[in-house]
Amino acid sequence: MTRHKHQLSARYTKAEWAMRVDLAACYRLADRFGFSDIVWNHITAKIPGSEHFLINRLGLRYDEVTASNLVSLDLDGNVVDPGSASSEEGVEDVNVTGFVIHSAIHAARSDVHCVMHSHAEAGLAVCVLKHGLMPMIHDAMPFYGRLAYHDYEGLSTDTGERERLAASLGDNMAMILRNHGLLTCGETVAEAFMNMYYLDRACKVQMQVLSSRQEFALPSAEMCEQAAKQYEYFPYGKIEWPALLRLVEKHSPDYRD
């Protein structure tokens, strides 16, 4: 570790710095896999041993997020640590919609440590469909009977929506925000990212199939449930995350700064 990196990490506990590094890696991966939206959208992670959570600062692209420029907030929206990018030109306060959406989940779910929100095109398309996600392919099966839906309420700037968001999510790890986008959760950053990866891919394939206007076949409800239960024995992220971190290290090693 360079002296500069040591000085940055020394500001935080070992557990918080590790979470910051993981979350920064997630932002870089989200950008690489098409889940970013210029300076919009947000991914958050709870700081271990605390009710505070980390979020990107509005004005930074996902490929600019680093471990040190993440902002920490409490559940009331107060900035606990502004991050190292707080004085940069064009960098504003935290996106209020990010606070509303993510604080809702972090406050309600002690088992969730990372929440990811995306406006990726395939998810935007599926969130408009009345029937939502269909169990068309392997990647959709983990979400069978385990995918929540939340009705559109405009921009999420009303803190009153937090209770409704949490109620809509229930005990699920993924949710379609109707007319808005996708949201995934995880006990780890890795799990939340992989949930988004597979949910997004299921949406992409669904829209490709529907656009073909050809007849399609769906497995039976019994088979879909069986597949969903099989996936419970293979939690997302455990195997994939080390490989994904190697990808970030190769192409964006400054995420640790």
Pick from 2-16, 123-137, 153-167, 176-190: least confident: 2-16
SS3 (DSSP) at 20: helix
pLDDT (average), residues 206-213: 97
Whether pTM exceeds 0.85: yes
Looking at residue 229, its pLDDT comes to: 95
pLDDT (average), residues 63-75: 96
Looking at residue 195, its pLDDT comes to: 97
The model's confidence at residue 93, banded by pLDDT at 50, 70 and 90, is: confident
pLDDT (average), residues 226-248: 93
Looking at residue 77, its pLDDT comes to: 93
The model's confidence at residue 167, banded by pLDDT at 50, 70 and 90, is: very high
DSSP 120-172: -HHHHHHTTSTT-----SGGGGGGTT--EEE---SSS--TTHHHHHHHHHTT-
For the cut 70, the answer to whether the pLDDT of residue 3 exceeds it is: no
Looking at residue 255, its pLDDT comes to: 97
Looking at residue 94, its pLDDT comes to: 86
CATH code, 64 = 3.40.225.10
The model's confidence at residue 234, banded by pLDDT at 50, 70 and 90, is: confident
Looking at residue 87, its pLDDT comes to: 60
What does the pLDDT look like over 27-39, one tens digit per residue?
999 999 999 999 9
For the cut 80, the answer to whether the pLDDT of residue 86 exceeds it is: no
Looking at residue 10, its pLDDT comes to: 75
Query: What b/e sequence results for 131-170 when a residue is b if at least 16 CB atoms lie within 10 Å of its CB, and e otherwise?
Result: eebbbbbebbbbbbebbbebeebeebeeeebbeebbebbe
Look up the domain containing 139 and give its range: 3-256
SS3 (DSSP) at 46: strand
For the cut 50, the answer to whether the pLDDT of residue 1 exceeds it is: no
Query: pLDDT over 70 for what percent of the chain?
Result: 93
The rounded distance, in Å, linking the Cα atoms of 139 and 197 is 9
User: Position of tokens 């950008």?
Assistant: 31
Tally of domains in the chain = 1
Looking at residue 8, its pLDDT comes to: 62
For the cut 50, the answer to whether the pLDDT of residue 79 exceeds it is: yes
